[in-house]
């Protein structure tokens, strides 16, 4: 027989749940039960794959501590992972004993929460133990309390070995008729593989970047860029270009309403205007679309926008001043 213990507390030294678990482990090992404990707080980056450890367990203990309200975030994440990635056929054959100690109010409610959650998952809950501990030393020295803890461990052993059944409960009826999730129909092997992928942060981040890239590609194929024109201002810069000899500079304009920065490359008589990424430039300028519209329509110059604070810039300011010489937007076409 094997029993897995899933501890959802924070592992602090005076946590009464840890003392209870220690006593329970001693009793179970005396009964020749293989016991394995999983401290969820130490495995918080791998919680989605944790339900796969249920496979070789005949029974489990869900243990947590009420520090201010409820069963705590770690235990809730583990139960969520069981719902999303757990093998429901295996869970349906697994007994669960709740252990909840409290240093504040709410241990009974939390024990009931664990029982309800396991029943809705399809599992088999058995009687557990909960209690309020004001002083840990006094609690440990109380022989009656220790006897109750030992009886709780024996009860779990007896329930699993004799496969004791319980009467039907409404939670199971709710699961069958009302509580339907929008999950994909996956085999246990597929659920296990998905849970490992979800727990791999690098894999998740890579997939997000791939999705963003695909979204951008499809948006470009449809001729859209989130409601923006595909190449605004390029024609205006090209048609009002006045070559300045010996001027070689790259300007990068970050226009707030545009997705990508506008890159203007000047090499004497050669001009290249395009949209790109955060590339190296001699001058970096930032402005709003309305300000750029005023400039390309001839109502304002780059120098005036900069002096008025409508455009910010960094880099070579002498090169910045050359913008109004290289692009005469006041000239009529």
Q: How far apart are CA 154 and CA 96, in angstroms?
A: 14
Q: Which CATH class name applies to 2-196?
A: alpha beta
Q: What is the pLDDT of residues 73-104, one digit of tens each?
A: 999 999 999 999 999 999 999 999 999 999 99
* Beta bridge mates, 100: 64, 130
CA-nearest of 111, 119, 149 to 22 is 149
Q: pLDDT value at position 293?
A: 93
Q: What is the pLDDT of residues 239-277, one digit of tens each?
A: 999 998 888 999 999 998 888 899 999 988 899 999 987
Q: pLDDT value at position 259?
A: 84
CATH number of 234-326: 3.30.1050.10
Contact criterion met (CB below 8 Å) for 57 and 97: no
Q: pLDDT value at position 225?
A: 45
Q: pLDDT value at position 224?
A: 47
DSSP per position, 165-198: -----HHHHHHHHT---------HHHHHHHHHHH
Q: pLDDT value at position 59?
A: 97
Domains of the chain, by residue range, sit at: 2-196, 200-226, 234-326
CA distances from 25 to 22, 35, 39, 149, 157 (A): 5, 7, 14, 10, 11
Q: pLDDT value at position 279?
A: 76
Low-confidence ranges of the chain (pLDDT < 50): 179, 181, 224-229
Q: pLDDT value at position 5?
A: 98
The b/e string for 51-76 (b: 16+ C-beta within 10 A; e otherwise) is bbebeebbbbbbbbbbeeeebbebbb
pTM: 0.60
CA distances from 212 to 106, 215, 217, 292 (A): 44, 5, 9, 28
Which residues touch 203 (CB under 8 Å, ≥6 apart)?
197
């Amino acid at each position: 027989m094997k029993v897995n213990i899933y501890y959802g507390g924070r592992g602090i030294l005076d946590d009464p749940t840890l003392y209870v678990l220690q006593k329970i482990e001693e009793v179970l090992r005396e009964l020749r039960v293989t016991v394995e404990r999983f401290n969820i707080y130490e495995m918080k980056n791998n919680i989605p794959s944790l339900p796969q450890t249920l496979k070789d367990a005949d029974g489990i203990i869900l243990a947590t501590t009420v520090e201010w309200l409820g069963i705590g975030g770690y235990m809730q994440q583990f139960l969520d992972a069981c719902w999303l990635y757990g093998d429901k056929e295996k869970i349906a054959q697994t007994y669960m004993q709740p252990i909840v100690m409290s240093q504040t109010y709410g241990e009974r409610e939390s024990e009931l929460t664990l029982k309800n959650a396991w029943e809705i998952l399809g599992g088999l809950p058995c009687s557990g133990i909960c209690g309020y501990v004001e002083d840990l030393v006094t609690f440990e020295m109380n022989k009656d309390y220790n006897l109750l803890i030992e009886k709780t461990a024996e009860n779990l052993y007896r329930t699993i070995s004799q496969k004791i059944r319980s009467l039907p409960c409404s939670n199971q009826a709710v699961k069958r008729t009302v509580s339907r999730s929008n999950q994909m129909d996956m085999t246990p092997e597929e659920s296990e593989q998905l849970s490992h992928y979800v727990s791999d942060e690098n894999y998740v981040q890579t997939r997000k970047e791939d999705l963003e890239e695909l979204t951008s590609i499809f948006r470009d194929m449809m001729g859209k860029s989130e409601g923006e024109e595909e190449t605004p201002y390029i024609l205006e810069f090209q048609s009002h270009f006045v070559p300045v000899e010996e001027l070689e500079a790259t300007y990068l304009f970050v226009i707030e309403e545009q997705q990508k920065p506008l890159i203007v490359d000047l090499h004497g008589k050669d001009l290249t205007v395009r949209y790109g990424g955060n590339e190296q430039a001699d001058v970096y300028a930032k402005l709003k679309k309305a300000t750029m519209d005023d400039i390309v329509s001839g109502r304002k110059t780059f120098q005036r926008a900069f002096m008025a604070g409508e455009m910010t810039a960094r880099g070579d300011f002498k090169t910045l001043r050359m913008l109004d010489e290289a692009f005469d937007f006041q000239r009529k076409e």
